Amino acid sequence: MYTGLIASRYASALAEFSAANGDEERTYDEVRRLIGLYRRDRSLRDVLFSPVVGDEAKLEVLRGAFGRPMSASLEGFVRLVLRHRREHYLYFMFYSFTDLYRRRHNIREALLVTAAPVDDRFAGRVCRAAESRTHGEVRLAREVRPELIGGFVFRMDDVLIDASVAAQLKLLRRKLGCKPNRIV
């Protein structure tokens, strides 16, 4: 089977199961947290992929890394994944679940990159403008990159708005560099 197909089927099952149990939002938050743990902690991945470590020990390691009790839906899901020996796909399942949850609840994630920190009022205006176009909720993440010199870069789904000074300078250099030099 294909990784994407396995991940999407298991993610759909987790979405249905957590919705039926009434803790879909909590499961979504926990899955997002586990994605971060999975990325940062190499030893967690090593334990999950180890054929020597048993299912209960793997579950205990996940619980310990999580730091608090998991929801019943998520714990049941992880048990199912471990029982079917699909732990190698767990990361992809989590990503598929978060994508499915966002689509079901019309949530978009956006990134606003600026050269200097911006106040909450400006970020709120950008967020409201994006929400009016998407007719859904937009969760805006902010990032500061001084190399932009000025302006901003906004990215949401497949939309990229690059209104930075650095991009304008790059475009200007490209336009000026394409013309042959005239010697008078």
Tokens of 179: 């013309």
Q: The tokens of 171 are what?
A: 């475009």
CB 123 within 8 A of CB 140: yes
- Per-residue pLDDT tens digits for 79-132: 999 999 999 999 999 999 999 999 999 999 999 999 999 999 999 999 999 999
What is the strand order of the sheet 107-114 is part of? 137-144, 107-114, 151-156, 159-164
Please count the CA atoms within 13 angstroms of the CA of 168 that sit on its side-chain side: 9
Q: Pick 176 or 142 by higher pLDDT.
A: 142
Please enumerate in sequence order all residues whose Cβ is within 8 A of that of 56, keeping only pairs 6 or more positions apart, or say none: none
pLDDT digits (tens, 9 = 90+) for 4-24: 899 999 999 999 999 999 999
pTM reported for the whole predicted model: 0.77
Both tokens of residue 106?
Answer: 């019309």
pLDDT in tens, 28-79: 999 999 999 999 989 989 999 999 999 999 999 888 887 888 999 999 999 9
